[in-house]
Amino acid sequence: MSQPAGESSRAQAAALAAAARSTRLTGRAAVLAVVICAIALSLAYPVREYIAQRQQIDQLLAQQQTLSAQVQALQQQDTKLTQTWYIEQQARDQLHMCFPDEQCYEVISGQPPRTASPASSKQSPSDPWYDKLLQSVKRADAQPGKGK
């Protein structure tokens, strides 16, 4: 079963040539690699834009939910402000007003008013509206150079 010397060297040469061909980059493989790279590069920008648009849509949906909640709160406030009883209640509570035939009393406790931090204003929420107005006029007059 021994092969002649010429035949075995031919078989070895054929095996080496086949191995060289399998590791060598062929023309078809190079074209295929270029086409795949071109497709990948042509899809990269649209995919990036798609992802950016999806993020923008998510942000807009969150903003829309926030705005719709604000609209609903404002509609409820508008409904309250169109009711006479609410306006009367606010006039009594905030402006210390009363109807002409009524006698209004303001209960003043025997304790001195709580002093807030020095950074807060000198007014308390229970000050009558005219005191608040007078304080704002005094503050405006105390600021030199504004309004002239």
Amino acid at residue number 15: A
* Locus of tokens 């690699």: 33
What average pLDDT values come out for the chain (148 residues) when binned by 10 residues?
Answer: 63 73 76 93 93 97 97 95 92 87 82 58 68 88 67
Q: What gap in Å lies between CA 71 and CA 80, rounded to an integer? A: 14
The pTM of this model reads 0.42
CA of 30: how far to CAs of 25, 43, 82, 114, in Å? 7, 20, 77, 85
